[in-house]
Amino acid sequence: MRIRKTVLALFLLAAVLVSSVSVSALFDGARDPGLVRIVDDADLLTDSEENLLLTAMSSAAERYRSDFLIMTVDSDVGDIEPYAEDFYDKSGYGYNGNDGALLIVSMYTREYLISSAGYAESALNAAAQQKITDDIGGYFSSGDWYGGFSAFVSESEEMLRLAEAGTPYGGNNGGGNGNGGSGTTRTHRIRVIPILFCIGISCLIAAIIVSSNKRAMKTAVLQRTANNYLAANSLALTTQRDIFVTSVVTKTPKAPPSSSGGGSGRSGGSSSGRSWSSGSSSVHHSSSGVSHTSTRGRF
């Protein structure tokens, strides 16, 4: 019986470990692999060029945990800034809910725009965005779309590398909002939800095992007398009396009531959303109320 319970406990422990790995992966902030990273509505790229770009984007994204999105449009979508950033927000791009960068090119207005969000903002800050914007503009002006998109990915990866090393492009004067341009490296986030989940499952398993063992031990039956513990005919009581011998009264003085004053409260707040860096430091809000900044150019 004990061996069987031990095996059961080990099995349940293994299940907890597997569950913790799965839940940690779920809350680890990984990007959604099912999303399309190149939305080429203007048909500026060949299939082979898209495949090469996707390979480079995936490699940089996995290495620095910052997503990439490239978009092209050839019709009037209004201002490409809110259009692209709303698309990024609502589609679920980015690590940890937002970390990443996008580039959109409009053939209708002959302009392009770079935006970065979350941790990627410390790498693609205002100074870094301005440099990349200037560099890729030459490719776009000459009609080399693949060259411009490839330069965006490779230069963004280099900016991410610098930020990861603690030396973001532009240093402390890189600009940007939130995490951008401060020279800080990525801080590894503690996954609180998976930890609490594993602790809860472990406590539940422990409670089940203890309850099972407790039920197995409940074999005793309440007895009114001690006859079961006496040998047959070994003791016979002829007279039984209850005699009051003495009593003891213990008195404990009651402590006077104490008064206490003061109060407790909680102040502070939290905000969620994205801060997009921009060379001009212009700030606007998407339709979802999220703050964005960006850098644009023309070709």
For residue 115, with 0-12 CB atoms within 10 Å meaning exposed, 13-18 middle and 19 or more buried, which class applies?
A: buried
Are 294 and 276 in contact by the 8 Å Cβ rule? The answer is yes
Residues β-bridged to residue 295 = 114
pLDDT on residue 184: 40
All structural domains of the chain = 34-181+277-298 (3.10.310.50)
For the stretch 55-73, pLDDT in tens is 999 999 999 999 999 999 9
What are the residues whose beta carbons fall under 8 Å from the beta carbon of 164, sequence distance 6 or more?
64, 123, 185, 186
For the stretch 75-125, pLDDT in tens is 999 999 999 999 998 999 999 878 899 999 999 999 999 999 888 888 888
Are 68 and 102 in contact by the 8 Å Cβ rule? The answer is yes
The segment with the largest mean pLDDT, out of 112-116, 178-182, 276-280, is: 112-116
pLDDT at 183 over 50: no
- DSSP E strands, the chain: 38-40, 67-73, 100-106, 111-117, 284-285, 291-292, 295-298
Under the banding of pLDDT at 50, 70 and 90, the label for residue 131 is: very high
